[in-house]
């Protein structure tokens, strides 16, 4: 099982939408895919599930069917993780629902990080709770891929979540704020990776499953850029052309200058245009844009856009699996 996180320090770039669409695409391509929502805002869960189901998952009181229910005993210091509830969305697709209550775990995770230096077992159990819950869920569902959605910040929850990721895909918008996000994200990933490499050797519990914390940058995807005559408009192209150098310098920590465009950059997984007319239809139908049908309102010019969207996401999924060395599913 391979785990891939979608992460950017900058919000509003389409990170959750990317994770949502790729979860559907990977499942459509035959991969058993488990989507994991570790953003306390739980937007990925809201995209997958109707409001009626959300009310059942998030009732007043405890939330045993959301991620916090799986780690609550660790949070309270009275036990360990339990098998999380897995929401089955299809034969090849499932979700571990998010929970706004997860934000309550932030302070404990902040305190646990330095305490691991002192070989404190409870701190190790707290830091690895999300990883171990997702691992239990992936084993139960027999997942080939786990896709992790997290919030747009560099806080303790995201640090703990990203420890569970084998790879990290960075979604970007063609703007100055995404470039600044790369400058923040790259050094932080390196620091978390190197510090965890040291900390995990100090665990006093040999039977405790620990994540590798590899968090290897897999590449970036540029989202929501506007097109004119099959080319990005100049306002977006200006920022897009600066992304390869920023990514290479700050995320890959390369000191070799590069001047290529995203189209020529091996680290660019995709440059997806803004499918403006499809997204409202997809939200109404509660399905990915590339699975819209005429019954959903995808008629006329929308039909071509749906096919184009499918091919774009299929190509992106293939680039991700190729870059990560993921074996195609058995037919």
Taking 60 as the threshold, does the pLDDT of residue 163 lie above it?
Answer: yes
Taking 80 as the threshold, does the pLDDT of residue 107 lie above it?
Answer: yes
Among residues 250, 274, 298, the one where a domain terminates is: 274
Q: Is the CB of residue 210 less than 8 Å from the CB of residue 124?
A: yes
CA 231 – CA 271 distance, rounded (Å): 11
103, 94, 90: which is closest to 150 by C-alpha? 103
**Do 162 and 13 have their domain in common?**
yes
Average pLDDT over residues 311-325: 96
**Do 242 and 134 have their domain in common?**
yes
pLDDT for 12 equals 77
Classify 140 as helix, strand or coil. helix
**Do 289 and 263 have their domain in common?**
no
Q: Which residues span the domain enclosing 303?
A: 279-325
pLDDT for 10 equals 73
**Do 63 and 168 have their domain in common?**
yes
Query: Is 331 part of any domain?
Result: no
Q: How far separated are the first and last CA of the chain, in Å rounded? A: 17
**Structure confidence by residue, pLDDT tens digits, 169-207:** 999 988 888 889 899 999 999 999 999 999 999 999 999
Query: Is 289 part of any domain?
Result: yes
**Do 217 and 293 have their domain in common?**
no
Average pLDDT over residues 124-135: 97
Query: Is 72 part of any domain?
Result: yes
Looking at the chain, the number of H-run helices and the number of E-run strands are 13, 10
**Do 53 and 118 have their domain in common?**
yes
3-state helix, strand, coil in the chain (%, to 5): 50, 15, 35
pLDDT for 229 equals 45
CA 180 – CA 10 distance, rounded (Å): 8
**Structure confidence by residue, pLDDT tens digits, 210-262:** 999 999 999 999 987 554 445 556 667 888 999 999 999 999 999 988 889 99
CA 135 – CA 209 distance, rounded (Å): 9
**Do 155 and 291 have their domain in common?**
no
- The domain spanning residue 209 has which CATH number? 3.40.50.300
Taking 60 as the threshold, does the pLDDT of residue 294 lie above it?
Answer: yes
Query: Is 266 part of any domain?
Result: yes
**Do 144 and 49 have their domain in common?**
yes
Q: What is the pLDDT confidence band of residue 310, given thresholds at 50, 70 and 90?
A: very high
1 vs 132, higher pLDDT: 132
Q: Is the CB of residue 254 less than 8 Å from the CB of residue 206?
A: no
**Structure confidence by residue, pLDDT tens digits, 200-211:** 999 999 999 999
Query: Is 151 part of any domain?
Result: yes
**Do 250 and 182 have their domain in common?**
yes
**Do 192 and 224 have their domain in common?**
yes
pLDDT for 4 equals 98
CA 90 – CA 80 distance, rounded (Å): 29
Query: Is 240 part of any domain?
Result: yes
Among residues 240, 258, 274, the one where a domain terminates is: 274
**Do 133 and 251 have their domain in common?**
yes
Query: Is 41 part of any domain?
Result: yes
Average pLDDT over residues 60-79: 95
Query: Is 330 part of any domain?
Result: no
**Structure confidence by residue, pLDDT tens digits, 141-153:** 999 999 999 998 9
Among residues 274, 297, 316, the one where a domain terminates is: 274
Question: How many domains is the chain built from?
Answer: 2
**Do 161 and 309 have their domain in common?**
no
């Amino acid at each position: 099982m391979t785990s891939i996180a979608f992460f950017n320090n900058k919000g509003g770039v389409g990170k959750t939408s990317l994770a949502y669409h790729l979860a559907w695409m990977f499942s459509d391509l035959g991969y058993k895919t488990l989507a994991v929502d570790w953003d306390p805002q739980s937007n990925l869960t809201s995209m997958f599930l109707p409001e009626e189901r959300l009310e059942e998952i998030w009732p007043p009181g405890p939330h045993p069917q959301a991620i916090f229910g799986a780690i609550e005993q660790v949070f309270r210091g009275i036990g360990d993780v339990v098998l999380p509830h897995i929401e089955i969305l299809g034969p090849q697709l499932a979700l571990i629902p998010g929970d706004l209550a997860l934000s309550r775990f932030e302070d404990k995770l902040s305190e646990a990080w330095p305490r691991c230096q002192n070989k404190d077992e409870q701190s190790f159990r707290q830091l690895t709770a999300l990883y171990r819950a997702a691992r239990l869920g992936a084993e139960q569902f027999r997942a080939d891929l786990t896709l992790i959605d997290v919030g747009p910040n560099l806080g303790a929850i995201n640090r703990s979540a990203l420890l569970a990721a084998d790879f990290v895909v960075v979604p970007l918008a063609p703007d100055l704020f995404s470039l600044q996000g790369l400058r923040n994200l790259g050094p932080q990933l390196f620091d978390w990776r190197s510090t965890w490499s040291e900390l995990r050797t100090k665990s006093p519990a040999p039977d405790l499953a620990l994540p590798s914390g590899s968090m290897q940058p897999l590449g970036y995807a540029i989202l929501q850029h506007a097109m004119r005559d099959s080319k990005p408009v100049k306002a977006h192209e200006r920022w897009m052309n600066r992304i390869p150098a920023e990514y290479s310098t700050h995320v890959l920590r390369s000191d070799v200058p590069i001047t290529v465009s995203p189209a020529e950059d091996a680290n660019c997984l995709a440059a997806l245009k803004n499918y403006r007319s499809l997204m409202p239809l997809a939200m109404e139908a509660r399905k990915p844009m590339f699975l819209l049908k005429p019954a959903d309102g995808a008629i006329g010019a929308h039909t071509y856009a749906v096919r184009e969207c499918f091919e774009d996401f299929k190509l992106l999924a293939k680039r991700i699996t190729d870059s990560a060395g993921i074996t195609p599913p058995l037919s």
